[in-house]
Structure formats: C-alpha cells, structure tokens
Structure 1
Amino acid sequence: MVPPLALDIDGTLTTPEGTIAPRAFPLLAAWEAPVVLATGKAFPYPVALCQFVGIPERAIAENGGVALVDGHLDYAGDPERVDAAVEAFEERGGDLGWDGVDTVNRWRETEVAVSPTADEELLRDIAAEFDLAVVDSGYAYHLKSPDASKGAALTDVAETLGHDPGEFVAVGDSENDASTFAVAGESYAVANADETAKRAADRVLDRGYVDGTLDALRAIRDRAKNGE
C-alpha cells in the first residue's frame, strides 16, 4: 500500500514558469492513500486544485493557518494581531508590494503575504514587536502567527484521517515546508528547493519542480508494488 502524501504546490507541483503541471494529475488521482495539499497560498487555491485533480478536498493553506479535511475546517493563529502588524508596517512606510487588485491576500484569512520586493528588515522588525513570525516561501514573505505551521496542521489532519503523521511522505521546496518534513516519516526536497528545505529533507531530488516530485512519487509507488 502506498503511503499518504503531503505535497506543497508552488515549486513542487508546478513548472519552472510557475504554471500548474497537469501531467501530475493522473498519478495523484489514482493514489491509493490520502493526498493532502499543503501550501502557503490562500485557502481557495488548494481546494480548487483538489477539485481539478479529482481528489478529496484535503488541504492545508496559509502555512497551516487553515486546514480542511473530510468536511472538518480548522483555523490557527491570530489574524487580528496580523492585521494590526500590517497597519503598523504601512504606517511606517512599508508597502505590501502587490499592484492593482491584491488577489494574493484577497481571500487570505489568517496571515498576510508580502511581496519579496518589500522592505524585509522593516517587516521583520514589526513582526518581532507583535510576536509574529515571517516565513519566506520564495514567492512571498508570510506574516503569520508563530504557532501556525504546515507541520502542526498536518499532525491534526493526519489524526482526523486516522493516520500518524509519521506515515506521510512529504515533498516541498521552501522554508515553509521544513515543519512538514519534521513530522512526516519520509521527506523530499525538489532540486530547486531553498537551503532550509534541503537541510530539513531526508533526501534532495535530482530534478526540480514537478519533474522531481513525480520522480519521487513513481519511485514510492514502485517500491510499494514490490512490497518494499
């Protein structure tokens, strides 16, 4: 039997151009164990992806701030404190950095994503004042509660699914995946992963992005078929 999966999206199920890779869909749809999508994106994104892939809606969003599994929806963190910190950041000249309509944060409920072009030093100073954390996903700086993480959410999701988190295989590419790697029984960083993810993973894959992820999943599937 194949193990349950915890998969990041950006940089892990996407191409180098940042587009989702449909070639991963058949493998995920046929996976004979739970598949949980764990992302830094706002909640609607992984839910929609589950629908398009054709798998049950099992999603961890906003770096653990929101988790949905089999009809159970849970939240973590302190969004009011995050909003207060953002207000202070902007009052001191900070800019979230998203031009036009801010679709990055429009549906975000527990954290705020700040553009990589923003004033990181000011953001981290503000975060410290408000007892918040800043996580660099490679696509944004995420201002969030320190007790919310993908790993903590996966622990709760696994329990709801009747699994131990140590049964999961995790694949990811960035700092925000390190907490998932810490609780999963087996973890892979794709070749394009940042140094934090590579250090935290059990193995760094030879290829990057979705190609590396598919290499890992096919090897896991073949290993299960061979009874290893």
Structure 2
Amino acid sequence: MASDVPPLVLDIDGTLTDEPGRLDPRAFDVLPSWDAPVVLATGKSFPYPVSLCHYLGLERNVVAENGGVVLANGEVTYTGDKERAQAVADEFVARGGDLGWGSFDDTNYWRETEIAVSLAADEKLLREVATEYEMDVIDTGYAYHVKTPGVEKGIGFKRLCETLSMDPDEFVAVGDSTNDTSTFGVVGQSYAVANADEAAKAAADEVLSASYMDGTLSVLESIQE
C-alpha cells in the first residue's frame, strides 16, 4: 500500500458520535482526506452507513446490521435471516412485548437481516422467544439485536476484505461495544474508546483515555504523527 497511514474500520455510534448520539462534525475534517480505505462497521440498518459514506465522500465500504449486510466494490451480500428475526419480533409482541420504537419504527424500517428492540423492552421474554426460534440476542448498549447465530461484524468485515483483496491485519479498528469484539479479533490493531463497554475494552489491544469522537481522533492523530 502506497499510503503511510493504515486502512480503518470504524464503528459509528459511540465512536464517531458524541454522547447524545449525534454525528461529530469533526468526522468531516479527517475521514474524507484519509489516504487509505475507510470501512464503516455498524449495528445500524444498511442505509445509514451507506448514506454516511456518501456525505463523507468515502468509497462505500460497509458492514451493516452487525455483519448481516456487507457492501464492497459495488457488491452487496446478505447473511442474516430476516424472516426468522421478524418471527421472533412478532411472537414477542404477541406475548405482550413491545419493540419500543413507537408508531413509525425507523430503527427497523430499512433493516434487512435482523430486528432491533429497545433496551426498555422485556429482555427476559425477548431472549426466551429468540431461543425458541434458534436466534441470538445481543445487547450493543443501544438496542437488543435479534440476529442469526454466527453473523458478526468481524465475519462480515473479513468477507469485505476478501472482496477488496485486502488483508484484515492491515486495518486499525476503533469501537465501543460488544458487537465490535469480533472485528477487534481480526484486525492488526484495535482500540476501545473510553466509553466502551467491558467486552469491547477486554477485546481491544488498547483502551483509550478519551471517549466518543475524542477517542477516535486521538488514534487517528497518533497514526499520522
């Protein structure tokens, strides 16, 4: 690689945002000019990271829905079972559960491989139903995600690297949640921002002293020195 900086794989929420969840505008100062590929790997539904790539002026290299959807080199692949995830959600609601997103569920409206449920929901009931349907539930700190077993960000990221003919070990990763741990396990260097959960901190090569975008910027600035 001709560039002196490594390629990046970055989570979005808690990593490129501030505490209330707003995209930190400083992302526009550093990422569009980053002289190596930048991959956005997120639990959000597919359109969110694709749109963010567009507005940042980045190539559309995306791992969305915790690895359920991957976009690289114009090729989209799906691995999650949305029908089974939806069946879990429907049964959960039928038993008195509430997904928690109100009348217009923009959290799931565009989601293609999993279902996200509010952290205010009945976790015990949700996990009981998911187990009956042989589905997993992960708590990302932002939502409970009902997903197909074996679907993870790190596996989706490895698939993306294969499409791009790149080695995952070349990448630097920054994240904040348990769903980032699988990515941390396949990259060359990984960082957990200070606001990260315990699973992410335990899996990262280094835990940063700064939170949210402050932490991410500290990594990018140190790389460029």
TM-score by length of 1: 0.95
Identity of aligned residues (%): 59
Secondary structure in structure 2 of the residue aligned to 1:81: helix
Whether 1:152 and 2:155 are equivalent positions in the alignment is: yes
Whether 1:46 and 2:79 are equivalent positions in the alignment is: no
In the other structure, the counterpart of 1:80 is 83
Q: Tell me how far apart the structure 2 counterparts of residues 2 and 128 of structure 1 sit (CA, whole Å).
A: 44
Whether 1:55 and 2:58 are equivalent positions in the alignment is: yes
Q: Tell me how far apart the structure 2 counterparts of residues 174 and 219 of structure 1 sit (CA, whole Å).
A: 22
The answer to which of 15-24 and 193-202 deviates more is 15-24
Secondary structure in structure 2 of the residue aligned to 1:89: helix
The answer to which of 83-92 and 149-158 deviates more is 83-92
TM-score by length of 2: 0.96
Q: Tell me how far apart the structure 1 counterparts of residues 28 and 129 of structure 2 sit (CA, whole Å).
A: 40
From 139, 143, 157, the counterpart of 1:140: 143
TM superposition shift of 1:25 = 1.6
Whether 1:201 and 2:201 are equivalent positions in the alignment is: no
Does the Cα contact within 8 Å between 2:170 and 2:188 map onto a contact in 1? yes
In the other structure, the counterpart of 1:34 is 37
Does the Cα contact within 8 Å between 1:89 and 1:95 map onto a contact in 2? yes
Q: Tell me how far apart the structure 2 counterparts of residues 34 and 94 of structure 1 sit (CA, whole Å).
A: 42
Q: Which amino acid aligns with 2:212?
A: Y
TM superposition shift of 1:197 = 0.5
Secondary structure in structure 2 of the residue aligned to 1:152: helix
TM superposition shift of 1:26 = 2.4
In the other structure, the counterpart of 1:225 is none
From 163, 174, 178, the counterpart of 1:175: 178
In the other structure, the counterpart of 1:226 is none
Secondary structure in structure 2 of the residue aligned to 1:48: helix
TM superposition shift of 1:100 = 2.4
From 26, 36, 42, the counterpart of 1:23: 26
**How many aligned positions are there?**
222
Does the Cα contact within 8 Å between 1:76 and 1:147 map onto a contact in 2? no
Secondary structure in structure 2 of the residue aligned to 1:29: coil
In the other structure, the counterpart of 1:220 is 223
Secondary structure in structure 1 of the residue aligned to 2:40: strand
In the other structure, the counterpart of 1:71 is 74
Q: Tell me how far apart the structure 2 counterparts of residues 54 and 147 of structure 1 sit (CA, whole Å).
A: 32
Q: Which amino acid aligns with 1:51?
A: H
Secondary structure in structure 1 of the residue aligned to 2:190: strand
Does the Cα contact within 8 Å between 2:69 and 2:80 map onto a contact in 1? no
In the other structure, the counterpart of 2:13 is 10
Unaligned runs of 5+ in 2: none
Q: Tell me how far apart the structure 1 counterparts of residues 102 and 50 of structure 2 sit (CA, whole Å).
A: 25
Q: Tell me how far apart the structure 2 counterparts of residues 156 and 148 of structure 1 sit (CA, whole Å).
A: 12
TM superposition shift of 1:20 = 0.3
Unaligned runs of 5+ in 1: 223-228
Correspondence 1:63-142 to 2 at 5 A:
63-142=66-145
Q: Tell me how far apart the structure 1 counterparts of residues 130 and 168 of structure 2 sit (CA, whole Å).
A: 30
Does the Cα contact within 8 Å between 2:172 and 2:187 map onto a contact in 1? yes
